[in-house]
């Protein structure tokens, strides 16, 4: 069973409401119908009803089994506008109403207000617009200043294992993260590895230097990020700065690092910038024959997933399943917080 199937099975245990702001897109329609049919999610499609009906008819999809809304005529438009303008200084209700007539913004407010459990977007919107809208309407996790992304890489015949599963971050969002941002990426990626993959995260902050073997401002950034990450999340196994071989290969780690719970055993790789992360995941995918799942967004207060604009319906279905699983965690966390309230 591949990872997509694993996430689909987990999603089926407790399907969640997922909103799709690009509801008229034929790939979205197809994937949403598949998700509903397989019991993975309860899809909510946003857009013009006649356009969605026309495309669904051409695809032989019965939209009576899907929820379709047009934000422009929604009864929630005024309430969402009042809520958003109240959160944003200098934004009038009129301006907020104009923003919320856009499907993407309305979808993000549905997530923020708990009308749905998560959002999947990006089939026709650039990633930058998805990130900006989600940041404004939904916001970020406590202690996180901005979004980031990660890939799940499944590498065949790797380092003596028939299959090795690794997290690569950030390979899709932050071009040149500061030490603070890099630390946040490390912590968030580690927690996602633990929840999604069920592994004990061993988080390596990568560099071209191992423990002072080279001197450069870019090395200093990784060293500082490691210090911040350890301070913010002492319960996690975090180490750096490490070269890739010192992070992954036990024999190399023994030569280069005196003592570490991460070196030679890393399963979460944090790259110093987007150049390194993006190049590494593509080389691993095409030269090592790895399966690459992502990029998956992280850091938002509630589940938001971005799609490649070249995504197929099957790709989108996998993202839907992961978004549902993330929403299950949000529900569990909320129940835990309520249970701890005196």
Per-residue pLDDT band at 331 (split at 50, 70, 90): confident
The Cα–Cα gap between 3 and 169 comes to 18
Residue 87: predicted pLDDT: 86
Q: Residue 295 pLDDT > 50, yes or no?
A: yes
Q: Residue 60 pLDDT > 60, yes or no?
A: yes
Residue 119: predicted pLDDT: 97
Q: Residue 33 pLDDT > 90, yes or no?
A: yes
Residue 311: predicted pLDDT: 87
Q: Residue 335 pLDDT > 70, yes or no?
A: no
Residue 341: predicted pLDDT: 44
Q: Residue 225 pLDDT > 50, yes or no?
A: yes
Q: Residue 342 pLDDT > 50, yes or no?
A: no
Whole-model pTM? 0.88
pLDDT, average across residues 35-46: 96
pLDDT, average across residues 113-127: 94
Q: 112: burial class by Cβ within 10 Å (0-12, 13-18, 19+)?
A: buried
pLDDT, average across residues 115-136: 94
Same topology, domains 3-139+300-340 and 148-294? Answer is yes
Q: What is the mean pLDDT of the chain?
A: 92
For residue 137, what are its two tokens? 């309407």
Contact (CB, 8 A) for 150 and 296 = yes
**CATH architecture designation of domain 148-294:** 3-Layer(aba) Sandwich (3.40)
pLDDT, average across residues 101-123: 95
The 10 Å CB-count burial string (b at 16+, else e) for 74-103 is bebbeebbebbbeeeeeeeeeebbebbbbb
For residue 54, what are its two tokens? 């026309």
Q: What does the domain layout of the chain look like in residue ranges?
A: 3-139+300-340, 148-294
Contact (CB, 8 A) for 184 and 298 = no
Residue 1: predicted pLDDT: 57
Query: Helix, strand, or coil here: 47?
Result: coil
The 10 Å CB-count burial string (b at 16+, else e) for 262-281 is bbbbbbbbbbbebebbbebb
Residue 330: predicted pLDDT: 78
CATH T-level topology, domain 3-139+300-340:
Rossmann fold (3.40.50)
């Amino acid at each position: 069973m591949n990872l997509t199937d694993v996430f689909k099975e987990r999603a089926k245990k407790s399907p969640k409401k997922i909103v799709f702001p690009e509801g008229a897109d034929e790939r979205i329609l197809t994937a949403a119908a598949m998700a509903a049919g397989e019991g993975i999610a309860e899809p909510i499609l946003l857009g013009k009803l006649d356009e969605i009906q026309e495309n669904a008819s051409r695809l032989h999809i019965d939209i009576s089994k899907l929820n379709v809304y047009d934000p422009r005529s929604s009864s929630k438009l005024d309430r969402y506008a009042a809520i958003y303008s109240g959160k944003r200084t200098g934004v009038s209700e009129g301006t907020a109403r104009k923003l919320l007539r856009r499907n993407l913004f309305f979808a993000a407010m549905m997530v923020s207000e708990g009308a749905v459990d998560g959002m999947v977007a990006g089939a026709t919107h650039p990633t930058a617009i998805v990130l900006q809208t989600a940041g404004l309407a939904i916001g970020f996790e406590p202690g996180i200043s901005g979004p980031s992304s990660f890939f799940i890489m499944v590498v065949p015949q790797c380092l003596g294992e028939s299959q090795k599963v690794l997290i690569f971050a950030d390979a899709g969002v932050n071009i040149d993260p500061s030490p603070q941002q890099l630390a946040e990426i490390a912590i968030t990626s580690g927690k996602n590895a633990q929840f999604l993959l069920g592994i004990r995260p061993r988080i390596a902050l990568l560099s071209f230097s191992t423990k002072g073997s080279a001197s450069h401002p870019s090395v200093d950034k990784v060293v500082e990020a490691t210090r911040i990450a350890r301070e913010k999340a002492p319960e996690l196994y975090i180490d750096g700065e490490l070269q890739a071989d010192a992070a992954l290969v036990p024999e190399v780690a023994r030569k280069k690092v005196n003592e570490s719970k991460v070196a030679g055993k890393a399963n979460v790789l944090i790259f110093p910038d987007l150049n390194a992360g993006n190049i590494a995941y593509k080389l691993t995918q095409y030269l090592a024959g790895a399966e690459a799942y992502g990029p998956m967004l992280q850091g938002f207060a509630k589940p938001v997933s971005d799609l490649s604009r070249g995504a197929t319906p099957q790709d989108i279905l996998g993202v839907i399943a992961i978004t549902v699983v993330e929403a299950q965690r949000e529900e569990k966390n909320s129940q835990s917080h309520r249970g701890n309230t005196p």
